[in-house]
Amino acid sequence: MACPKCHGVGRIPVPFVWGAYNGYTEEYVEFVTCDELADFFAPKKTIVYAHNGGRFDYHFLKDKINSDDLLMLIAGRISKCKIGEAEFRDSMNIFQQTALKQFGGKIDIDYAKMEPEVRDEPNNKAEISLYLRQDCVMLWDALERYFKTYGKSLTQAGNAMRIWSRMSGIKPPSQTREQFKRYKPYYHGGRVECCQIGVRECEFVTVDRNSAYPHVMKRKHPFSVDSTRDDRLPAIDN
């Protein structure tokens, strides 16, 4: 009800125009319906990106998504799916927690001009088209810069691991399905666990290091797919 784009009346959004930009040819195409967009890309063996598409745009295309092909979800987001020969990806897999306007060049527009009663007025229609095209171009430019440096892996994490492996010369360790199932219940990012509780009176000093995480992540880390179990903490020099 508080959404400014819905003018506070809580309406369900319905697409009325789609834009697609190909930076290799600088071709820009617009479509009025979901079917037109899906039919345009279905015969093309290409990759299509939409920013936050997995939680918004692609839901409008659900009836066109190939039911027999893999539909990949990451954190509740449609990260990858296929329509015909075309593969649709969410660029949020690469630019996580990044709004499109943060790429620079975003055009401001009065969303009231997209109201059904006025969106087809010549001036408003031209402004909406320019706004939509600019969004597509901005995303293309950001993706192109990223791909030239890091390649076209699906996620930023996958690219990071690949680049790390190339720089270090170390092949990343891999787990079997059984190993993953065994250790998953014990894995928590940033986990801190108290091994012994109680009260102790003594002199002490507290130390805090700014930006410790980036510092330690640049150092060598032990890794293994094997494990050992002990009832005591290791000696400090281990």
The pLDDT of residue 39 is 96
What's the CA gap between 100 and 140, in Å, rounded?
A: 11
- In this prediction, residue 37 has a pLDDT band, given cuts at 50, 70 and 90, of very high
| Architecture of the domain made up of 4-158 | 2-Layer Sandwich (3.30)
The pLDDT of residue 237 is 63
The pLDDT of residue 185 is 81
160-219 pLDDT tens trace: 888 888 888 888 777 788 888 888 887 766 666 777 788 888 898 888 878 787 887 788
The pLDDT of residue 226 is 73
> What's the first-to-final CA gap in the chain, in angstroms?
57
- In this prediction, residue 6 has a pLDDT band, given cuts at 50, 70 and 90, of low
Look at the chain and count its residues.
238
Look up residue 55 and give its two tokens.
Answer: 């939680």
What does the mean pLDDT of the chain come to? 86
88 - beta bridge partners?
48, 81
59-104 pLDDT tens trace: 999 999 999 998 999 888 999 999 999 999 999 999 988 888 888 8
What's the CA gap between 137 and 133, in Å, rounded?
A: 6
Q: Which residue has the higher pLDDT, 122 or 191?
A: 122
- In this prediction, residue 12 has a pLDDT band, given cuts at 50, 70 and 90, of confident
The pLDDT of residue 195 is 74
The pLDDT of residue 142 is 93
Break the chain into its structural domains and give their ranges: 4-158
- In this prediction, residue 141 has a pLDDT band, given cuts at 50, 70 and 90, of very high
Residue that the structure tokens 């809580």 belong to: 10
The pLDDT of residue 8 is 58
What's the CA gap between 199 and 83, in Å, rounded?
A: 62
Percent of all residues in the chain with a pLDDT value above 70, rounded to a whole number: 90
Look up residue 16 and give its two tokens.
Answer: 């009325």
DSSP, residue by residue, 148-167:
HHH---SSHHHHHHHHHHHH
Task: Tell me if 41 sits within 8 A of 83, measured CB to CB.
Answer: yes
Strand, helix or coil at 231? coil
Residue 152 CB: number of other CB atoms within 10 A?
11
